[in-house]
């Protein structure tokens, strides 16, 4: 599993935006930036839609005030789903990232198998990345939502 001090791998993610979808290598996407990346098991799922993404939407200005260049939300969903979810959640200040085949999630060692519920998904986590290097990593225990909340990450900055 990725850990503090590790570099982000050069695995492609799809930036899902109303202006179009663009595949970018994660190491290039995050290069030269201070990034808060949070990942969750699925778009449009209960905790993810009711609390996880909304927390970052509400706190976006506070993250920017702390020097964060990008707030990114990642899920093992396709780009169309991530785009629609971002629009539905008024997440215009959040970079929505699709990891459709879970390649990035697997490269980090943060995948989980959910069987018929959705197959391979991402564990719930949040990390801070500074110029491509992980400086903070908070991974949730299964079925919890405590350490990856926007408020917790904001306080750690």
Q: Is 48 a catalytic residue?
A: yes
Residue 28 pLDDT? 96
Share of the chain above pLDDT 90, in %: 86
Q: Rounded to an integer, what distance in angstroms lies between the CA atom of residue 1 and that of residue 142? A: 16
Model confidence over 91-149: pLDDT tens digits? Answer: 999 999 999 999 999 999 999 999 887 889 999 999 999 999 999 999 999 999 999 99
Architecture of domain 12-156: 3-Layer(aba) Sandwich (3.40)
Model confidence over 35-71: pLDDT tens digits? Answer: 999 999 999 888 888 899 999 999 999 999 999 999 9
Is residue 9's pLDDT more than 90?
yes
Contacts of residue 59, Cβ cutoff 8 Å, sequence gap at least 6? 150, 151, 154
Q: What's the pTM value of the predicted model, to 2 decimals?
A: 0.95
DSSP three-state, residue 116: helix
Q: Rounded to an integer, what distance in angstroms lies between the CA atom of residue 50 and that of residue 114? A: 20
Tell me if 17 sits within 8 A of 97, measured CB to CB: no
Phi, psi of 71 (to 5 degrees): -110, 125
Q: Active site residue: 29, 48, 73, 91, which one?
A: 48
DSSP three-state, residue 53: helix
Is residue 12's pLDDT more than 90?
yes
Task: Return the H-helix or E-strand segment holding 12.
Answer: strand 12-17
Question: For 92-145, where are the E strands, in sequence order?
Answer: 95-98, 111-113, 120-122, 125-130, 133-139
Q: Rounded to an integer, what distance in angstroms lies between the CA atom of residue 17 and that of residue 51? A: 21
For residues 17-35, average pLDDT: 95
């Amino acid at each position: 599993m990725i850990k503090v001090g590790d570099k982000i791998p050069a695995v492609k993610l799809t930036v899902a935006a109303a202006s179009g979808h663009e595949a970018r290598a994660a190491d290039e996407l995050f290069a030269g930036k201070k990034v808060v990346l949070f990942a969750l098991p699925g778009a449009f799922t209960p905790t993810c839609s009711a609390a996880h993404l909304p927390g970052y939407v509400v706190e976006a200005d506070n993250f920017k005030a702390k020097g964060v260049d990008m707030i990114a939300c990642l899920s093992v969903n396709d780009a169309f789903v991530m785009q629609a979810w971002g629009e539905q959640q008024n997440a215009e200040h959040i970079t929505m990232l699709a990891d459709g085949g879970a390649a990035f999630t697997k490269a980090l060692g943060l995948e989980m198998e959910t069987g018929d519920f959705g197959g391979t998904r991402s564990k719930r986590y949040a990390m801070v990345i500074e110029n491509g290097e992980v400086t903070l990593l908070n991974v949730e225990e299964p079925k919890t939502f405590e350490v990856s909340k926007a408020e917790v990450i904001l306080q750690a900055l």
